Amino acid sequence: MIIDAILKDENGQTLGKIVANAKTFSSGSRGYYGQSKIEIDGKRYQCQVQLVEIGSKEQKKTD
């Protein structure tokens, strides 16, 4: 699955879109991550979105 995150200003105008793809993070947690560059009032910004599924990290088993 792919998630589209739409960034809007207070007037509802779309500023940009970030596409977040499925990812397994280095911690072992699963979720979605995306990054993009957008322009606002002539200035460029780098932006990121991260969604982490709560409880998705494999628990270490203790014997």
pLDDT in tens, 24-53: 999 999 999 999 999 999 999 999 999 999
Amino acid 61: pLDDT:
60
* Domain assignment of residue 29, yes or no: yes
- Structural domain range at position 19: 2-52
* Domain assignment of residue 59, yes or no: no
* Domain assignment of residue 35, yes or no: yes
22: Cβ–Cβ under 8 A, 6 or more apart, which residues? 1, 2, 30, 31, 32
As a dihedral over the C-alpha atoms of residue 53, residue 25, residue 29, residue 22, rounded to 10 degrees, the angle is 40
Amino acid 59: pLDDT:
67
Amino acid 57: pLDDT:
85
Amino acid 40: pLDDT:
92
* Domain assignment of residue 62, yes or no: no
* Domain assignment of residue 12, yes or no: yes
pTM of the entire predicted model? 0.80
pLDDT(16) > 80: yes
Number of domains in the chain: 1
